[in-house]
Amino acid sequence: MLGPPGAGKGTQSERLALSHGLPKISTGDILREAVQSRTELGCIARASMEAGNLVSDEVMIGIVRSRLSREDAQRGFVLDGFPRTVIQATALDRMMDGRGPLIVLDIVVPADVLVRRLAMRRICSKCGTNGPVDWPANCQKCGGRLIARADDSVAVVKERLKVYQRQTKPLVEYYSARGTFRAIDGNRPPDVVAAAVREALSEAVAARGAGL
Ligand code: ADP
């Protein structure tokens, strides 16, 4: 699933993964966990994430390749936050050799809405789940305290949106000629977007069946 920061990729990927019984693979979650547990990967990723920059393609491609080789990803998976550059997308195409079709859904949301959403966003300090919009409350999954994400401050958000325009937006062109690409209006309530995601997914699967 593609889209700018705050588009709702995480929320929609989670719902899609749950409803299809597939693992959701979020590179942002993998990196945040690594930062929190101070692993070597966490040390490498931390500065880039806090500045709103991308972690290197080499590191990210390695993470995703090893995650996709695990048993639970053999029947399919939902990717959230990867690929984010054309180099990552090219590597993902190679990883998909001999697997099912790669369906790409792009969640589209205007920039002013994104800035507002990110300023409001709260995540659980324990498990990283997105908090309810009516915080202050506690995490619905584990009861943990809700906090702002370190990279959701106004200055870092601006940088992340710039990085998105420069490095990730070109992916729309990379994928858009494929029959398995669909753009979805993400500036609607989560349930409406989720229904559009389901529809786009069946269309893309059908287009693939028709050899488009
Ligand atoms: P968002 O989509 O809201 O920016 P994510 O949780 O997907 O948030 O990512 C948070 C940060 O993790 C990014 O700003 C970036 O620093 C890093 N990151 C996540 N995925 C990738 C990736 N595929 N390539 C490079 N950096 C990544």
Contact 135, 144 (CB under 8 A): no
Distance 30 CA to ligand 1 centre (A): 10
Nearest to 6 by CA among 37, 28, 25: 28
- Reported for 117-126, long-range contacts at CB under 8 A and 24+ positions apart, including other chains, are 117/6, 118/5, 118/6, 118/152, 118/157, 119/152, 119/154, 119/157, 121/6, 121/148, 121/149, 121/152, 122/146, 122/147, 122/148, 123/147, 123/148, 123/149
Q: Is the CB of 123 under 6 A from ligand 1?
A: no
> Does 209 have pLDDT greater than 80?
no
Nearest-atom index, ligand 1, CA of 163: 14
For 118-129, write each residue's pLDDT tens digit.
Answer: 988 888 888 888
CA distance 208 to 212: 6
Q: What is the pLDDT of residue 136?
A: 66
Q: How far is the CA of 80 from the centre of ligand 1 (A)?
A: 9
Q: Which pLDDT does position 138 carry in this prediction?
A: 85
- Ligand 1 pocket residue status of 81, Cβ below 6 Å: yes
Of 54, 67, 122, the one to substitute when testing ligand 1's pocket (max ligand atoms within 8 A of C-beta) is 54
pLDDT at 210 over 70: no
Residue 108 above 80 pLDDT?
yes
- DSSP code of 55? P
Q: pLDDT tens across 167-184, in order?
A: 999 999 999 999 999 999
- Which residues are designated catalytic? 9, 84, 121, 149, 160
pLDDT digits (tens, 9 = 90+) for 56-92: 999 999 999 999 999 999 999 999 999 999 999 999 9
**Which tokens is 129 given?**
């789940």
State the average pLDDT over residues 144-169. Answer: 92
134, pLDDT greater than 70: no
Ligand 1 centroid – CA 207 distance (Å): 30
